[in-house]
Chains A and B, each alone.
Chain A
Amino acid sequence: MSTLTKQTLSHLDWLEAEAIHILREVAGQCANPVLLFSGGKDSICLLRLAEKAFRPGRFPFPLMHIDTGHNYPEVTEFRDRRAAELGERLIVRSVEDSMARGTVVLKHPGESRNKHQSVTLLEAIEEFSFDACIGGARRDEEKARAKERIMSFRDEFGQWDPKNQRPELWNLYNARSHKGENIRAFPISNWTELDVWQYIQREQLELPSIYFAHVRPVVRKNGLLQPVTPLTPAKAEDKVEDVLVRFRTVGDITCTAPVESDADTVDKILLETATTTITERGATRMDDQTSEASMEQRKKEGYF
């Protein structure tokens, strides 16, 4: 192989350029897209990428959060503030409203509402006639995601059919859909957790405070740290400890566990991420541990 090399992009510049290209394809091909913004680190990256893709213009889509009502207040506050700073429209639709309508029925009051977000999401898609939802999912998160397309087709019931995906070649994305159907677009499909942290560092992106080390009461259960909160109180037999922790993902309080860490800056988190020995979802998501195939199952039911 030749030793002569053309000028090429650094890996972060390449990933950024690819993501911007995907965002612009969604804007160019879809009539009414929406960007799913939770206040989590992946969707925070999406917002920066959208700025790079569309400024000085407005985003050609609103932002939307499907709120389980079980979010950490630091994250909700951040979500609202960030949308206001950008001057973009934020839509919030709530799982609790779906519960009130009777379209979400919990098995028991304490059941995680995470998987029920699918119902509320599909209701919101119908309400606003969205033809595409831009999300921050990555292929390295979980094996059901490793085979997901960048433009992933969902039928009228919001279902993902892994056996019937559109072939995706070159960078010729096909985001076409008929009325009632939907495209999920994932601009950071090819990013890993480490890439996300490197991008946050390079772009100096602000994050909700719970991503950084803080002391929090927790109970150790099944190898995970369960935060003690008003929603998830300790049982009589539990041993509550104050532990220095940080969150690697921020989701529903009832199913998102922090990890022990003293990393209180992005630089320290990067070092920890580079040497970490537990995958992101394995360490922190109680819902993904339920069965070997639980993400695959949820995605078939219309999950992000």
Chain B
Amino acid sequence: MSAPEHLPEIDNGLLRFLTCGSVDDGKSTLIGRLLFDTKTILADTLSAIEKTSARRGTSAVDLSLLTDGLQAEREQGITIDVAYRYFSTGTRKYIIADAPGHEQYTRNMVTAASTANLAIILVDARKGVLTQTRRHSYLASLVGIPHLLVAVNKMDLVDYDQAVFERIKADYLAFAAKLGIGDVRFIPISALNGDMIVDRGERLAWYDGPTLLEILEAAPAAHTERAEDFRFPVQYVCRPQDSANPELHDYRGFMGRVESGEVGVGDAVTVLPSGAASRVKAIEIGGVRRERAIHEQSVTLLLEDEIDISRGDLIVKSAEAPAPVKEIDATLCWLSETPLSPARTYLVRHTTREVKAKVARIAHRVDVNTLAHEEASQLAMNDIARITLKLAQPIVADDYAANRATGAFIVIDESTNNTVGAGMIG
């Protein structure tokens, strides 16, 4: 490889995506192919997998070994949980959340999906749309991934037959309509041979759409294209009270991340749940003043008035203030081996606030394979249910469908401090 004259500018941001499928679908091979063809795999890694391929008796280099995991996993022949992989094309940086298909699939997929803006759903061309395809699609839509890409893999094993691809596409669209999945695209690929991943190859000439990488390059990096309300959970309050610097004597900076929307100096804001109103006096990033801050930026806000604000409060624009609530309806995914007990009190972490909570009602459990509703009095690991929670103190929330950041919460078991549940309000 020869050195470039200068580095290409990465100016197309960062895209987080999720790959769903089992080992049999060629998921590891697909990820290996993306890393390999974008030249992200380095010489010593390649030589290590060549050695392992030889030791395991495979002649060609097995790209799936690139995603081979921990010693603990190899010993048991299982994949424990979500792994994160990185590659860059020179114009965009990618974070892949690689969720294993079989073990603890719901827990892992929901975890991986929670930070992704696009999901690649792998379908084996020989097998077509399976129960697990429907399950993966349901979970992706449940967690609100805005863009789905159905990759029909192993086209090499069906002679690159367009009719096979078209039939799978029609099958998928029939059930996607029922799920209300909006943006879904289809692509025929062979991860093994590299067709239509980074390079087009020569065997899928009938397909005139973009390659898989071209689709990733063009996908919007923002979670939503809609204009969202400004939401700023306060993480930390900065009061330097530096006696040597009188300018800092009255400094009160409210530190946090703009979870959605944007804010400018002079905007009228309200602090929730207290309801106190003020205006934005200044916006700083690392001591540098800015006129405005956009979603995902970590900034410090200074307000015109002296208001008592602490971690856990939410700053919003006064015209867009949601009402505090003490009871929430939510879809809950249970993540713990210890079942959810309606008799117990849990801790709910929502934005930067923690409140005690109890289950008021389990409306029903959802069978992730058939989507049928079932009665339930408790929840086991990987269960998904519609529930109502009673809260000890109010939280200021939005529906998850309207706002991912203020609509999501996790459930913590105080006895172990484990994260035992993931919830979506609405």
- B3 CB to nearest A CB, Å: 5
- A259 CB to nearest B CB, Å: 12
Q: Scoring B residues 200 to 240 as 1 if CB is less than 8 Å from chain A, else 0, what string do you get?
A: 00000000000000010011111011010000000110111
Residue of B2, B83, B85, B409 contacting most chain A CB atoms (<10 Å):
B83
B4 interfacial by beta-carbon distance below 8 Å: yes
- Give chain A's interface secondary structure class: loop
The answer to whether A139 touches B86, judged by C-beta atoms less than 8 angstroms apart, is: yes
Choose one: B95, B296, B419; the contact of A166 (CB below 8 Å): B419
Q: A140 — nearest CB in chain B belongs to which residue?
A: B86
The answer to whether B410 touches A169, judged by C-beta atoms less than 8 angstroms apart, is: yes
A86 interfacial by beta-carbon distance below 8 Å: no
Give bound CA distance, A65 to B272, whole Å.
41
Give bound CA distance, A58 to B238, whole Å.
9
Q: Scoring A residues 20 to 59 as 1 if CB is less than 8 Å from chain B, else 0, what string do you get?
A: 1100110110000000000000000000000111111110
Q: A22 — nearest CB in chain B belongs to which residue?
A: B298
The answer to whether B3 touches A271, judged by C-beta atoms less than 8 angstroms apart, is: yes
B38 interfacial by beta-carbon distance below 8 Å: no
- A231 CB to nearest B CB, Å: 26
The answer to whether B93 touches A174, judged by C-beta atoms less than 8 angstroms apart, is: no
The answer to whether B72 touches A6, judged by C-beta atoms less than 8 angstroms apart, is: no
Q: B285 — nearest CB in chain A belongs to which residue?
A: A52
Give bound CA distance, A52 to B285, whole Å.
6
B174 interfacial by beta-carbon distance below 8 Å: no
The answer to whether B422 touches A28, judged by C-beta atoms less than 8 angstroms apart, is: no
B185 interfacial by beta-carbon distance below 8 Å: yes
Q: A297 — nearest CB in chain B belongs to which residue?
A: B71
- A38 CB to nearest B CB, Å: 23
Q: Tally chain A residues at the interface, Cβ within 8 Å.
A: 76
Q: Scoring B residues 320 to 363 as 1 if CB is less than 8 Å from chain A, else 0, what string do you get?
A: 00000000000000010000000000000111100000000000
Residues of A within 8 A of B193 (CB): none
The answer to whether B84 touches A190, judged by C-beta atoms less than 8 angstroms apart, is: yes
B255 interfacial by beta-carbon distance below 8 Å: yes
B287 interfacial by beta-carbon distance below 8 Å: yes
The answer to whether A57 touches B240, judged by C-beta atoms less than 8 angstroms apart, is: yes
The answer to whether A58 touches B84, judged by C-beta atoms less than 8 angstroms apart, is: no
The answer to whether A271 touches B222, judged by C-beta atoms less than 8 angstroms apart, is: no
- A144 CB to nearest B CB, Å: 6
Q: How many A-B pairs with Cβ below 8 Å?
A: 208
Give bound CA distance, A10 to B349, whole Å.
29
Residues of B within 8 A of A167 (CB): 107, 111, 335, 410, 419, 422
Q: B248 — nearest CB in chain A belongs to which residue?
A: A56
Q: How many of chain B's residues touch chain A, expressed as a range?
A: 35 or more
Give bound CA distance, A6 to B86, whole Å.
24
Choose one: B85, B114, B248, B253; the contact of A146 (CB below 8 Å): B85
Give bound CA distance, A194 to B89, whole Å.
12
Residues of B within 8 A of A189 (CB): 84
Residues of A within 8 A of B64 (CB): none
- B213 CB to nearest A CB, Å: 14
A96 interfacial by beta-carbon distance below 8 Å: no
The answer to whether A21 touches B235, judged by C-beta atoms less than 8 angstroms apart, is: yes
B304 interfacial by beta-carbon distance below 8 Å: no
Choose one: B11, B80, B185, B220; the contact of A162 (CB below 8 Å): B80
Chain A 262-290 interface residues, beta-carbon cutoff 8 Å to B: 270-272, 274-279, 282-283
- B119 CB to nearest A CB, Å: 13
Q: Scoring B residues 1 to 37 as 1 if CB is less than 8 Å from chain A, else 0, what string do you get?
A: 1111011001101100000000000000000000000
Residues of A within 8 A of B10 (CB): 10-12, 198
Choose one: B72, B297, B404, B412; the contact of A174 (CB below 8 Å): B412
The answer to whether B296 touches A14, judged by C-beta atoms less than 8 angstroms apart, is: yes
Give bound CA distance, A24 to B71, whole Å.
33
A93 interfacial by beta-carbon distance below 8 Å: no
A8 interfacial by beta-carbon distance below 8 Å: yes
B417 interfacial by beta-carbon distance below 8 Å: yes
Give bound CA distance, A27 to B239, whole Å.
14
Q: Taking A5-B220, A147-B83, A169-B422 as given, write out 12 further A-B residue pairs in contact, using a Cβ cutoff of 8 Å, ordered by the A residue number.
A: A6-B220, A6-B225, A56-B240, A57-B238, A139-B84, A139-B86, A147-B84, A162-B72, A167-B111, A167-B419, A172-B351, A274-B4
- Can you identify 19 A-B contacts, CB atoms within 8 angstroms? A1-B219, A5-B220, A6-B225, A6-B227, A7-B294, A8-B13, A17-B257, A28-B236, A54-B236, A143-B70, A146-B69, A147-B81, A170-B408, A172-B349, A271-B3, A278-B44, A282-B42, A292-B71, A296-B71
Return the 10 tightest CB-CB contacts between A and B, nearest first. A52-B286, A282-B44, A293-B71, A20-B298, A277-B43, A176-B417, A24-B235, A169-B114, A11-B93, A11-B14
